Structure 1
Amino acid sequence: MSFKQISQIAGSAMSAQTVRMNTIASNLANAQSASGNEADTYRARKPVFAALAASGQGEQQLAGSRVQVLDVVESSEALRKVYEPGHPLANAEGMVFYPNVNSVAEMTDMLSASRAFESNVEVLGRVKSMQQSLLRLGEG
């Protein structure tokens, strides 16, 4: 596997983790937003990742795969429905709808995404160091 392929794989992983962090930020920002009806209520979003097979034959193809973000989908979990007749957004029955965002799960996911991003930054740093070492071999 070439340094270029390693960099492409790490770069695609960093892009995927950036999308993941953006969806987490959106979910956390809207975690407490209220709505008077179910249709207008914010729903938690999650990115869908897939491995994009490397082009090549034999060992080159098995060596690694890039990450591709297929889509960002809305969660199908039930919304929180709370009886708050005094709330300005309450419907006729006094119900207010809140997003299906689990803040604890989102924070855990954020830590995981951050660690994955940092790991790929480290991979790129190691590739750069290896390339520089190769260049120094020719100096002697």
Structure 2
Amino acid sequence: MDLKASLGVSASGLRAQSLRMRVIAENLANQDSVATTPGGDPYRRRVASFQAEVDRNTGATGVKLTGIQTDKSNFTRVYQPGHPAADGEGYVLKPNVNGLVEAADMKSAQRSYEANLNAIEAAKSLTMRTIDLLK
């Protein structure tokens, strides 16, 4: 694999993990958001999904966003009869966001981002060494 292809693969990985971290940050920011109307649905967790994509120019396989889907898991019901978002029975629906799961996903995305940065730095270093040898 040549330098351009390896940089393209790492760059697509950087973009993917950056988007993934933004989606996770949005989930974390809304983990306590409830509905604005009584009995309404609260914030629903979002998940980015990706697939492999072959670059026709270089033949390298990168990463492509296929979409950002909502998590269809159930909301948590909490009994709070005085809450403005409570339904007729006094229950408030809480978002289906688990802070621990999001924190683990964020750590994974950060590590993947760092790995792609390291790959780009290694390619840059090898290129600089090659140029130094040619002098």
Instruction: Please confirm whether the aligned pair reaches a TM-score higher than 0.5, indicating the same fold.
Output: yes
> Deviations 1:2-35 (Å, cap 9, x if unpaired)?
1011001000000000110001000000001112
Identity of aligned residues (%): 35
Aligned partners of 1:123 and 1:68: how far apart in 2?
A: 18
Aligned partners of 2:16 and 2:39: how far apart in 1?
A: 33
Structure 1: which 5+ runs fail to align? Answer: none
Q: Which residue is equivalent to 1:43?
A: 44
SS of equivalent to 1:82:
strand
The residue type equivalent to 1:31 in the other structure is: Q
> Deviations 1:98-122 (Å, cap 9, x if unpaired)?
1100110100000000000000000
Q: Which residue is equivalent to 1:92?
A: 88
Aligned partners of 2:73 and 2:84: how far apart in 1?
A: 25
The residue type equivalent to 1:37 in the other structure is: G
The residue type equivalent to 2:23 in the other structure is: T
SS of equivalent to 1:96:
strand
Where in structure 2 are the equivalents of 1:1-140 lying within 5 Å?
1-35=1-35, 36-38=38-40, 40-55=41-56, 61=59, 64-139=60-135
CA RMSD of aligned residues (A): 1.4
SS of equivalent to 2:39:
coil
> Deviations 1:52-89 (Å, cap 9, x if unpaired)?
02326xxx74xx41000110100010011112101122
Moved >3 Å (runs of 4+): none
**Does the aligned pair in 1 maintain the 2:39–2:88 contact within 8 Å?**
no
> What TM-score does the superposition give when structure 1 sets the normalisation length?
0.89
SS of equivalent to 1:47:
strand
Aligned partners of 1:106 and 1:6: how far apart in 2?
A: 30
Aligned partners of 2:103 and 2:94: how far apart in 1?
A: 18
SS of equivalent to 2:93:
strand
The residue type equivalent to 1:100 in the other structure is: N
The residue type equivalent to 1:132 in the other structure is: M
Structure 2: which 5+ runs fail to align? Answer: none
Q: CA deviation at 1:37?
A: 2.9
